[in-house]
Amino acid sequence: MSDLFANLPLLSFSDGGWGWNLLRGLLSTLQIALGAYALGLCIGLFGALGKINGSSLTRWLLEIYTTLIRAVPELVLILLLYYAGTGLINQVLDMMGYRPIDISGLVAGIAVLGVVQGAYATEVIRGAMLAVPLGQVEAAAAFGMSRWQVLRRITLPAMLPLALPGLSNLWLIVVKDTALLSVVGFSELAMVTLQAGGQSRAYLMFFLAAGALYLCVALVSNQVFRLLEKRARRGQPELV
């Protein structure tokens, strides 16, 4: 324990301290998480629409996508999508006569985690959309709204309170999943922490500090999602 406190200066923001490095790691963790979450929501929205309204081929393809992604461990998926994705892009570029490019860690991380998130988001949003009473959608159509207007004015606002608990879970999952990207060598919080621990041998303290940072993110986002849910539920009876 005494050894733990003797190492405390290592966390400082001055010379020889790892404070700024950890915060920079946290920043790139948040960047990747935000980007992947946004991408996942887009995929999820269209995936849910496709699963509900699409042709049987679309539904079948989406079913394979969500089932496979949800049955394979994230760590394996990240490796597969990362190598397959960068390999594929460079092969296409090569065929078109361009030189292969180096895909930045940030973009690759966002793409990989976004595709994984998309599968989970599809299921969450689909469930919430199915729970919107059909009568409301039909009433809107009877008023002469186009399908896009029905989606924007009725379906999306009505499903939001039902989807938010699931979506808040997904956000917490994507923040934690960014740590897995360290295995492919992205320099986010987990990676920086491992490097800091390796150089200073103060593993225990650095991992406690990193854990505290992740926990802060989780606690703050819990509050944000609580406010969002309150706003999405405005006018509805309180939940018990």
Partner 1 sequence: MQWYWLAEYLPKFISGVYVTLQLLGLSIFFGMLLAIPIGLVQVTGPRWLAIPARMFCTVIRGTPLLIQLYLLYYGLGTLFPLIPEIRETFLWPLLRDAFPYAVLAFSLSVAGYEGEVMRGAFKGVPKGELEAARAFGMSRFTVLRRIWLPRAIQNVLPTLAGEFVLTLKSTPLAGVITIFDVYGVGSMVRQETYRIYEPLLLIAGIYILLTGVIVLLFRWLEGRVPRPV
Which positions touch partner 1 (CB under 8 A)?
A: 3, 68, 71-77, 79-80, 83-84, 87, 172, 175-180, 182-183, 190, 193-194, 197, 201, 203-204, 207-208, 210-211, 214-215, 218-219
Question: Is the Cβ of residue 45 or residue 174 nearer to partner 1 in the bound state?
Answer: 174
Report, in Å, the least distance between residue 210 CB and partner 1.
Answer: 6
- Which CB sits closer to partner 1, 139 or 215? 215
Range 24-47 burial, b when 16+ CB lie within 10 A, else e: ebbebbeebbebbbebbbebbbeb
100 token code pair: 């292969």
Kind and range of the H or E run holding 216 = helix 203-232
DSSP-based helix, strand, coil % in the chain, nearest 5: 80, 0, 20
Q: Determine how many CB atoms are found less than 10 A away from the CB of residue 132.
A: 17
Separation of alpha carbons 36 and 240, rounded Å = 33
Nearer to partner 1 by Cβ, of 84 and 107: the residue is: 84
Shorter beta-carbon distance to partner 1: residue 7 or 58: 7
For tokens 């499903």, what's the residue?
159
Show Cβ contacts of residue 33 under 8 Å, excluding neighbours closer than 6 positions. Answer: 113, 171, 174, 175, 178
Q: How far is the CB of 202 from partner 1 (least distance, A)?
A: 9
CB of 93 to partner 1, least distance (A): 18
For the CB of residue 179, give the shortest distance to partner 1 in the complex, in Å. Answer: 4
SS3 128: helix
Q: Specify the residue, 23 or 139, whose C-beta has the smaller distance to partner 1.
A: 23
Closest approach of partner 1 to the CB of residue 92, in Å: 17
